[in-house]
Structure 1
Amino acid sequence: MNILFGMETKDIIMTAAVIVGPVLAVQIQKTLEQFRERKQSRLTIFRTLMSTRAQRLHREHVQALNMIDLEFYGRKLPIIRIRYQTKKEQTVTHSWKSYNSHLNKIKDYPDINIWVSKSDDLFTDLLYALSQAMNYDFDKVQLQRDCYRPIAHGDLETTQANILKGLEKVFSGDTALPMFITNAPMNNSNQNDEVMPETTTDFDTETR
């Protein structure tokens, strides 16, 4: 056998394994922990969006949407420093970009109902992409249909959207606030025209 520094090959291998083994074990443990944390963070986003999909103005819903770009960013390959995304990650981020872009175009829709309908479709696409990335077996019809949404919640969101759209038109100068005078004060001429009450004097009383 080959001898290096007075050691045989098998001894060198054993020594290297003793030194390198713990280092590799630590790195593997760190990688597994990062994988679990990333999976848990993504699962939290999906669960939050699913549980609040009937309340899209809810604070937690908005926060979950804003975390998508970070949690599905992918990872940078070592040395070449290029971002790599899986196909499922790309589908999620692209779906979110389309939905986000539509949310900011409410003023482009003369009918708020058309904007709401389009929002529903794009949000369903996003949920479907997330479910596929998390290995859930959902279809788009199921995601859109199996959702309890009280009528009052839908009316509230539509009302708030109409208010925001109206305020935007006022502040941009596209429209003006209507004014109605309901209790205008009378001028002096009108006051002078009032009929004075009939008065009597002592003289008239005695005459009568």
Structure 2
Amino acid sequence: MHIDLSQIDWAVVLATIVGPIAAVLISIFIDGRKASRSRQHWVFSTLMGLRGASLSQEHVRAINVVQVEFHKKPKVIEAWKRFLNHLETDARAEGWDLKHRDLLNDLLVKMAVSLGIDAEALDIARGGYYPTAWANRAHSEDTVLGAKTKFAQFILSPEFDQWVQRMRDTDYRASLIQAVNEQNRKPAPLGGIFAE
């Protein structure tokens, strides 16, 4: 039994085999592009949303993945490199904050353009909303962290060992207790409108 297939028959067989494979490959390609675009949007929106909180973990994470997510966008990468180079300079230098804001603004503008987002530089430069309470809390956390660090340094220092030795000395402890008791017996100064 001999089967004679014409060109049309071969085309149908080929289309039956290749069609689904091509559809899957095209689907994978499109999904990959969507995922990449979604990650780029995440980086951009994170940096936009946290541009007033550049020390937040998410802001730092987003800055660190710019190179990966925008690797095919040379203008974004150049702006990112300038920004990163500035971050590695002394933040106490005069004008550092202004340059930081300008370079971040430039990076965000380049990202917006590469993503097809119509964002004017002025809109980005405004800095977004950052509640004063957040700034106060961050300052308080820094203060507490600084105190914990100093305490830890004290515990690890030779002065702590000397202090422990003094506290073991019965005479020293007794003199401390006596000083505290004497201080507690003194009447508190009245001050204010009751002061003489």
Answer whether TM exceeds 0.5 for this pair: yes
1:10 corresponds to which residue? 8
1:58 corresponds to which residue? 56
Q: In angstroms, what is the RMSD of aligned CA positions?
A: 2.2
* Structure with the greater alpha carbon radius of gyration: 1
Determine if the alignment matches structure 1 residue 25 to structure 2 residue 23: yes
1:193 corresponds to which residue? none
2:179 corresponds to which residue? none
Offset, 1:149: 3.9
Identity of aligned residues (%): 29
Q: Cα deviations across residues 130-176 of structure 1 (Å, max 9, x unaligned)?
A: 1111211111111112622456739x78xx8xxxxxxxxxxxxxxxx
Determine if the alignment matches structure 1 residue 98 to structure 2 residue 82: yes
SS in 2 for 1:129: helix
1:48 corresponds to which residue? 46
What aligned pairs does 1:1-208 form with structure 2 within 5 A after superposition?
Answer: 6-74=4-72, 89-106=73-90, 110-111=93-94, 114-145=95-126, 147-150=128-131, 153=135
Structure 1: gaps (5+ residues): 75-88, 161-208
Offset, 1:40: 0.8
Which structure has more helix as a fraction of its residues?
2
Offset, 1:62: 0.2
Runs of 4+ deviating beyond 6 Å: none
Determine the C-alpha separation between the residues in 2 that align with 1:100 and 1:28: 37
Name the count of aligned residue pairs.
136
Determine the C-alpha separation between the residues in 2 that align with 1:37 and 1:72: 13
TM-score calculated relative to the size of structure 1: 0.60
Determine the C-alpha separation between the residues in 1 that align with 2:43 and 2:76: 12
Q: For the structure 1 residues 110 and 29, does the alpha-carbon distance in structure 2 shift closer, same or farther, using more than 3 Å as the test? A: closer
Partner amino acid, structure 2, of 1:20: V
